[in-house]
Amino acid sequence: MTWDPENSSGLSFDAGTATFADAAAPGADRTLRDPFGRAVTYLRVSVTDRCDFRCVYCMAEQMTFLPRRELLTLEELDRLCTMFVGSGIRKLRITGGEPLVRRGIMTLFRALSRHIASGALDELTLTTNAGRLAEHATELAACGVRRVNISLDTLNEARFRAITRIGDLARVRAGIDAAVAAGLRVKINVVALRGVNDDEIPDLMRWCAGRGFEMTLIEVMPMGEIGGDNRLNQYLPLAALRDRLAEHWTLTPLDVRTGGPARFVRVEELGLRLGFIAPLTHNFCESCNRVRLTCTGQLYLCLGRTESADLRAVLRGDGGDAALAAAIGEAIGRKPKGHDFVIDRDHRTPAVARYMSITGG
Ligand code: SAM
Ligand code: SF4
């Protein structure tokens, strides 16, 4: 790697756009705001569309991945993230695909850690399947990562293989242990799949509570063509699941808002903080604080909609930071009010054609 992140450009947001006009002034509000007044403070960055698993709800069995030349380089990713940090992004989540399969990914984490060290960024984190976490947990912690979201839908070996198609549960467990040993706080993401893992959710809750992890249940979202009637078959409304859990445990709603779709309860008997991400049952758009950058530099303004901006073209053009700042400001000015996901018998095709692994979950 030849680029020197210590000296790569900081920001001078005097781009002349309405959004950034005063951003360079001392004491100025550097926050990006969309037309509905929502502050955009959270960027999720997908660093690759590739993965070493093929989860049934996320990918088709045979996937054609993007040619490598389409991807932003690590330097470009750092530059873009740095622009966003300079414009008020306080939380950065690295995701994918599987972020830890991207070659050289630790170079990016090391580079971004300077924003944690300087206090410009509150949080640098990642979402991972943990298959390669054992190799990287210690260094991630050294880069200022404090917590990690790990996707794990079952603790049963055969089921794990059925869900991930090619994943190795032993490696995931080793990755989780390494994260704990490195002092990272762990949240386990569980996609609730009807007839696949719904009977195991109480066990997963006990396991998470026993290890001091948080847990979040996720409703299957209609993203990307995965073949057949899979989504309809997989779809388990979380509202119904929550009612079932409430028959056995005391679920006390928590007044925690993350600016995202998660709603939290405390499971009193287990001492577990449990989140529900249910975009199909609940509309969470009114407090949305986030945008998503794909590995090809497309900025998506809403997970469930198609509005986007091609930041790679601007990044590789001649306009420099000013053009990039203007493009980001223009895009945020188009952030839609909300989405309209539906899964039912009249809506069998995905609401959004791109896969979650492209946009980053
Ligand atoms: N590979 C990493 C992982 O699995 O944690 C990061 C990327 S993955 C796309 C991020 C999250 O999206 C995972 O928790 C995964 O379970 C979730 N996900 C993927 N496809 C989904 C879908 N169609 N509906 C709901 N959640 C999905
Ligand atoms: Fe890979 Fe994550 Fe998608 Fe599973 S959910 S296929 S681990 S990107």
Most confident of 98-107, 272-281, 326-335: 98-107
> Residue 233 — very low, low, confident or very high, per pLDDT cuts 50/70/90?
confident
Please answer whether residues 72 and 105 qualify as being in contact, where contact means their C-beta atoms are separated by less than 8 angstroms: no
Q: For ligand 1, atom 1, which residue shows the shortest CA distance?
A: 98
Mean pLDDT for the chain overall: 86
Q: What band does 27 get if pLDDT is binned at 50, 70 and 90?
A: very low
pLDDT at 5: 45
Residue nearest to atom 4 of ligand 2 (CA): 55
Find the mean pLDDT for residues 151-176: 97
CATH number of the domain that residue 73 is part of: 3.20.20.70
Per-residue pLDDT at 10 exceeds 60: no
Dump pLDDT digits (tens) for 282-333. Answer: 466 778 899 999 999 999 998 778 889 999 999 999 999 999 999 999 999 9
Within a domain: residue 113?
Answer: yes
Ligand 2 atom with the smallest distance to the CA of 96 is 8
Neighbours of 253 (CB within 10 A): 9
State residue 22's pLDDT score.
36
Confidence of residue 176 (pLDDT cuts 50, 70, 90): very high
Find the ligand nearest to 100 CA. Answer: 1
Residue pair 98/48 in contact (Cβ under 8 Å)? The answer is yes
Q: Which segment of 9-13, 79-83, 344-348 scores lowest on mean pLDDT?
A: 9-13
The answer to whether residue 92 scores a pLDDT higher than 90 is yes
pLDDT at 141 (0 to 100) = 98
Residue 5 within any structural domain of the chain: no
Contact 235, 281 (CB under 8 A): no
Examine residue 34 and state whether it is found in any structural domain, yes or no: no
In a domain, 258, yes or no: yes
> Taking the CB of residue 49, how many other CB atoms lie within 10 A of it?
25
If one compares 3 and 124, the residue with the highest pLDDT of the two is 124
Report how far apart the first and last C-alpha atoms of the chain are (Å, whole number): 28
Evaluate whether residue 9 is within a structural domain: no
The answer to whether 13 touches 30, Cβ cutoff 8 Å, is: yes
pLDDT of residue 237: 87
pLDDT at 114: 98
Answer whether residue 1 is part of any domain: no
Select from 279, 257, 275 the least CA-distant residue to 267: 275
Q: How confident is the model at residue 231 (pLDDT cuts 50, 70, 90)?
A: low
Check residue 159 and give its pLDDT: 96
What's the per-residue H, E or C state across the chain?
CCCCHHHCCCCCCCCCCCCCCCCCCCCCCCCEECCCCCEECEEEEECCCCCCCCCCCCCCCCCCCCCHHHCCCHHHHHHHHHHHHHCCCCEEEEECCCHHHCCCHHHHHHHHHHHHHHCCCCEEEEEECCCCHHHHHHHHHHCCCCEEEEECCCCCHHHHHHHHCCCCHHHHHHHHHHHHHCCCEEEEEEECCCCCCHHHHHHHHHHHHHHCCEEEEECCCCECCCCCCHHHHHCCCHHHHHHHHHCCCCEEEECCCCCCCEEEEEECCCCEEEEEECCCCCCCHHHCCEEEECCCCEEECCCCCCCEEEHHHHHCCCCHHHHHHHHHHHHHCCCCCCCCCCCCCCCCCCCECCCHHHHCC
Report the nearest-CA residue for atom 3 of ligand 2.
58
pLDDT for the residue numbered 4: 46
Residue 47 lies in a domain: yes
Q: What is the pLDDT, as a whole number, of residue 17?
A: 35
Q: Residue 198's CB: how many other CB atoms inside 10 A?
A: 15
Torsion of CA 92, 152, 224, 334, to 10 degrees: -20
pLDDT at 211 over 60: yes
Write down the pLDDT at residue 355. Answer: 56
Cα of 144 to ligand 1 centre, how many Å?
23
d(CA 162, CA 166) in angstroms, rounded, equals: 8
- Ligand 2 pocket (Cβ < 6 Å) reads 51, 53-55, 58-59, 96-98, 129, 151, 357
19-28, 126-135, 302-311 — most confident range:
126-135
Q: Report yes or no on 308 lying in a domain.
A: yes
Q: What percent of the chain has pLDDT over 90?
A: 68
Say how many Å lie between the CA of residue 224 and the centre of ligand 2: 12
Q: What is the mean pLDDT of residues 6-26?
A: 37
**What is the residue range of 264's domain?**
39-359
Q: Which amino acids bring their CB within 6 angstroms of ligand 1?
A: 51, 57-58, 95-96, 98, 127-129, 151, 189, 191, 218, 220-221, 223, 356-357, 361
CA–CA distance, 352 with 31 (Å, rounded to integer): 29
For the chain, the domain total comes to: 1
pLDDT score recorded for residue 257: 80
The pLDDT value given to residue 302: 86
For a ligand 2 pocket test, name from 44, 53, 63 the mutation site with the most ligand atoms within 8 angstroms of its C-beta.
53
Q: Residue 184 — φ and ψ, nearest 5°?
A: -80, 135
Cβ proximity of 127 and 99 under 8 Å: yes
Please name the residue that has the structure tokens 């949080």. 123
Give the pLDDT band (50/70/90) at residue 228: low
For residue 219, count CB atoms less than 10 angstroms from its CB and return exposed for 0-12, middle for 13-18, buried for 19 or more: buried
